[in-house]
Amino acid sequence: MLEVENLRKAYGPLLAVDDISFSLQPGDVFGFIGPNGAGKTTTIRMLTTLLEPTAGTARINGADIWRDPMGVRRQIGYMPDFFGLYDDIKVWEYLDFFAAIYKIPTSERQSVIDNVLELTDLSGKRDSFVQTLSRGMQQRLCLAKCLVHDPMLLLLDEPASGLDPRARAEFKELVLELGRMGKIVIVSSHILPELAAFCSKVGIIERGRMLAFGSVNDIVKQARAGRHVDVRVIGELDGAVDVIKSMPHVLRADVSGPSSFAIEFSGDEQDQAQLLATLIDKGIRVIDFRERKFDLEDVFLQVTTGAVN
């Protein structure tokens, strides 16, 4: 498992990563979401031992990034946000090179290479030159390279950027497969919908701070403690709002349009039904009474603009 403790990175006065802590279990696919410059790459690079943290630490299966960097490196596969492959080299040679670096015994290399090529759907490109591959294929080759030593933790920094929708979908499948294989996969992105759908855990980071962490459902619940209902009425709007404001559990009620208002309240479904019943009892002509459903996207926008927390 991966444990991150109070990780921090300062560039002069700028705190690129500010006291981040979380932990992940095998099988977790973790979506690391935040706008550009939020500190995703910095965090990931500290986990890879490429960048020295200002403070804090992280452990991968007990291997500490400070005390046992080689132990960490043996267990991770890292795909940088921008990467290049070697020219003048064939796909299998590229993988063989890294298999050698990761000290895979010569006798096993052949089957290891075949396996990762199969997994990344590149078997047909075995003898092609690396520079002839498309962007999506290079991405997959880089992932194949990350897998030759069967790492515990995969760190994929913005893997979907620069891929067409089809390649994205394939990549997503691949990441899910890796999760099913029991690996920890960290995928970063600045585009939320890309990740929300398939990650088992999500972390939202902005300006170096982890604003939310957990499963998608948990985060939505956490950020949205109450229920939100949009109401549209015919006739006197202010009277309707006054009626609602006098009800129990109602936290606020604001006019949101010429004939509509929004209610935020902390009750359950029973109370919600009671709201509607009361409005009708008081003779207010309701034409729309609808609970607003929130998804991670709304939470993301709210959290990162500081509306919540």
Ligand X SMILES: Nc1ncnc2c1ncn2[C@@H]1O[C@H](COP(=O)(O)OP(=O)(O)O)[C@@H](O)[C@H]1O
Residues that bind other proteins (CB under 8 A): 11, 36-37, 48-50, 70, 73-74, 76, 78, 80-89, 93, 96-98, 100-103, 142, 145, 158, 161, 190
Q: How far is CA 131 from CA 16, 63, 88, 114, 214, in A?
A: 34, 36, 7, 20, 40
Binding at 289: pick from other proteins, Mg ion, ligand X, none (beta carbon under 5-8 Å per type): none
Does 125 bind ligand X (CB under 6 A)? Our answer is no
Instruction: Kindly give, in sequence order, each residue whose CB lies less than 8 Å from that of residue 264, ignoring residues fewer than 6 positions away.
Output: 226, 227, 228, 250, 251, 252, 253
Q: How far is the CB of 118 from other proteins (least distance, A)?
A: 21
Shortest spacing between CB 139 and other proteins, in angstroms: 13
Q: Which does 139 bind (CB under 5 to 8 A by kind): other proteins, ligand X, Mg ion, none?
A: none
Judged by CB under 6 A, which of 2, 4, 7, 16 binds ligand X?
A: 16
What's the CA gap between 222 and 253, in Å, rounded? 21
244 and 261 Cβ atoms separated by less than 8 Å? yes
Asked if 60 contacts 2 with a C-beta cutoff of 8 angstroms, the reply is yes
Q: Which is nearer to other proteins, 130 or 303 (CB)?
A: 130
Q: How far apart are CA 34 and CA 225, in angstroms?
A: 22
Please tell me whether residue 40 binds ligand X under the rule CB under 6 A: yes
- 34 contacts which partner out of ligand X, Mg ion, other proteins, none, CB within 5 to 8 A by kind? ligand X
| Exposure b/e, 176-185, CB count within 10 A at least 16 = b | eebbeeebbb
70 binds, among Mg ion, other proteins, ligand X, none (CB under 5 to 8 A by kind): other proteins
By beta-carbon proximity to ligand X, the closer residue of 17 and 116 is 17
